Amino acid sequence: MALTQQELKVFPSLRMGRFREMSRRTTTRRDVKYNCIAFAAGDTTQPWWPPVPTVQRFYYWPAGIPVEETLDAFMSAFASLGYTPCSSPNLEPRIEKVAFFVKPNGVPGHAAIQRENGMWHSKLGDLEDIEHNLRDLECATYGTVQAYMQRTRRDS
């Protein structure tokens, strides 16, 4: 299944032709195997989120990281992977960057990882993985880009 018009409505800036689907659902079942945070962290085996009651057993969260839905906690989780804060989303040789989207209430809504071609790569919740311009995913659901982190690319 490709992204539907209904799903695309959530992202007012995401226009046809300005993003590329990198994966495609093969069934109507929701793909909750991993989420955007896990994907940005390079883990496609399990979803990442600070444990919340009732569904905590399905989610991974690094040990020792504050269990709270805040940008600081999410950045701490990525710091445990070797990322350090940076100020720019610009492409730099041999540097891997992650961008965090945060909603007005301070809760992180999304994370995207930069590809070597300068485009950004995201897992959209239970939906597809897409390649996109960073700010095209800014919306009420995800919030706006508020922070970046970087580390040396592992394959460089």
Partner 1 sequence: MTTSYELPVTKPSTKPWSEIWNFEVLVPKPTELAGNVVTLLWPIINQATITGRNLEETIGDQFRRLAEQWRNETSMLSSPTETILHPAYWRIILMGLSVVPLILRDLRETGGYWFFALEKITGATPPGANSSDLNQVIEAWLNWGRANEYIV
Which residues lie near partner 1 (CB under 8 A)? 6-7, 10, 28-30, 32, 35-37, 47, 49, 52, 54-55, 57-59, 69, 107, 109-110, 123-127, 141-142
Least spacing, CB of residue 127 vs partner 1, in Å: 6
The nearer residue to partner 1, 10 or 95, going by C-beta atoms, is 10
Structure-derived torsion over alpha carbons of residues 122, 127, 130, 133, reported in degrees to the nearest 10: -60
Distance CA 67, CA 52 (A): 8
Residue closer to partner 1, measured from CB, 43 or 92: 43
Name which of 59 and 119 has its Cβ closer to partner 1.
Answer: 59
Q: Please, what is the minimum distance in Å from the beta carbon of residue 24 to partner 1?
A: 14
Nearer to partner 1, 36 or 98 (CB): 36
Spatial contact of 36 and 112, defined as CB atoms under 8 Å apart: yes
Q: How far is the CB of 41 from partner 1 (least distance, A)?
A: 12
What is the C-alpha R_g of the chain? 15
Using CB atoms within 10 Å of the CB of residue 44, give its burial: 0 to 12 exposed, 13 to 18 middle, 19+ buried. Answer: middle
Report, in this order, helix, strand and coil percent for the chain, each rounded to 5. Answer: 15, 25, 55
Residue number, 10 or 79, with CB nearest to partner 1: 10
CB of 94 to partner 1, least distance (A): 28
- As measured in angstroms, the least distance from the Cβ of 84 to partner 1 is 23
**Class of residue 38 by CB neighbours under 10 A (exposed 0-12, middle 13-18, buried 19+):** buried
Closest CA to 18 of 145, 96, 134, 143: 134
